[in-house]
Amino acid sequence: MKNNIETKFENNHNVHHDNSYFMEVNNGMTHEQWNAIICNDAFYDKKFYYGVKTTGIFCRPSCKSRPPKRQNVKIFNHPQQALDENFRPCKRCKPTDERLPSEEWVEQVASYIDSNYNQHLSLQTLAELFHGSPFHLQRTFKKVKGITPAEYIQDTRISKSMVFLLNEDRPIKEIAIAVGISNMSYYVTLFKQKTGFTPTEYRQLKNRIN
Ligand SMILES: [Zn+2]
């Protein structure tokens, strides 16, 4: 049942009825797409995505979120187009295919390492924690950070231990354990490789400065 305004619109514009369903209504959106949005029609998932200008969030057609106002909708053919225009993926329908944008995902993993560097960490456990494959994590992390997760873990542990060495009088072996490295000779080798000093030499630097 058409309301008066729509009927008048079609009469004024001489729209052919058999085509009107597929014609654009606004912003590149067709009637077919608009219907998919308001009916949460999963058939259209991955065929298009829609952003809502007022919230800056974009969704799959099937999203159960509140139907947007028609004039605020912007249609995208691919999630990357929406991201490029600074729309954020909806937390409910996760239009980026369950995966966060790479940068955000890698930052989550990195910040987990930053606060859990003293725990046992492996590519496998990190991948499981952050719902990706080890292969994908390794490749994506390296692409975003320029180093692998393992290198990032090493760098984090060594730089934390540098702070401990300068500010605490604990034995070096204890400091190694405190940053998650139980093998003392591995710690000394890694420290020297990263900083050019042994932990003992590094500690002595402080005394020389003071
Ligand atoms: Zn959504």
Could you report how far apart the first and last alpha carbons of the chain are, in Å?
Answer: 85
CA of 91 to the centre of ligand 1 (A): 7
Choose one of 59, 89, 119: the last residue of a domain: 89
Q: Helix 199-209 vs helix 149-167: angle between axes, to the nearest 10 degrees?
A: 40
In this structure, are strands 88-89 and 57-59 parallel, antiparallel, or unpaired? Answer: parallel
Please check whether residue 73 is in contact with residue 51, taking contact to mean a CB–CB distance below 8 angstroms: yes
Choose one of 42, 64, 89: the last residue of a domain: 89
pLDDT tens, position by position, 54-83: 889 999 999 988 889 999 999 999 898 899
User: Do 45 and 139 fall into the same domain?
Assistant: no
User: Do 105 and 193 fall into the same domain?
Assistant: yes
Could you identify the residue written with the tokens 């590519």? Answer: 123
Residue 94 lies in a domain: no
Choose one of 55, 89, 123: the last residue of a domain: 89
User: Do 72 and 103 fall into the same domain?
Assistant: no
- Count of CA atoms in the C-beta half-sphere (13 A) of 159: 9
CATH of the domain at 172: 1.10.10.60
CA of 77 to the centre of ligand 1 (A): 15
Residue tagged active-site, from 39, 59, 90, 93: 59
Residue 25 has pLDDT above 60, yes or no: no
User: Do 181 and 208 fall into the same domain?
Assistant: yes
Residue 151 lies in a domain: yes
Q: What does the pLDDT average to over 111-132?
A: 91
CA of 92 to the centre of ligand 1 (A): 5
CA of 173 to the centre of ligand 1 (A): 51
- Which carries the bigger pLDDT value, residue 154 or residue 3? 154
Nearest CA among 112, 115, 116 for reference residue 141: 112
CATH of the domain at 20: 3.40.10.10
For residue 167, the enclosing domain spans 99-210
Q: Is 59 a catalytic residue?
A: yes
